[in-house]
Amino acid sequence: QVQLVASGGGLVQAGGSLRLSCVASGSIGSLISMGWYRQAPGKARELVARVFTGGSTIYADSVKGRFTISRDNAKNTLYLQMNSLKPEDTGVYYCKGTQAWSGIWGQGTQVTVSS
């Protein structure tokens, strides 16, 4: 079983930066990808960024050039560096680990960007 614990959210002004972390434990060798998703109030959860075992990444168009996803295998930690934050980036951010047969969600961390 895999457990994911996210942290790093907070309140920041527009234009500011935050770095989210997600520490994985358990059977992390079974993960084929890890990613960050977010859910704004009244909206569906959406993909923000995802990194695959081979190192390839994908980003939502809305965050390209501003957010960077990375993975430190030695620390079993996934990061999301968020720069040039906008009010529309506000939401609860979740990390997710994907196995061949299922996905595992961590708890969310709130990001609030004030204008």
Closest listed residue to residue 4, CA positions, set 79, 86, 111: 79
Is residue 1 over pLDDT 90?
Answer: no
pLDDT, mean of residues 2-20: 97
Report helix, strand or coil for 88.
Answer: helix
Q: What is the pLDDT of residue 28?
A: 83
- Residue 46: CB atoms within 10 A of its CB come to 12
pLDDT tens track for 39-96: 999 999 999 999 999 899 999 999 999 999 999 989 999 999 999 999 999 999 999 9
Q: What is the pLDDT of residue 105?
A: 96
Q: What is the pLDDT of residue 29?
A: 83
Is residue 30 over pLDDT 90?
Answer: no
Cα–Cα–Cα angle for 50, 54, 58, rounded to 5 degrees: 25
- Reported as a pLDDT band with limits 50, 70 and 90, residue 27 is confident
Q: What is the pLDDT of residue 7?
A: 97
Distance, in Å, from the CA atom of 110 to the CA atom of 9, rounded to the nearest integer, reads 5
Question: Residues 83, 75: contact at Cβ < 8 Å?
Answer: no
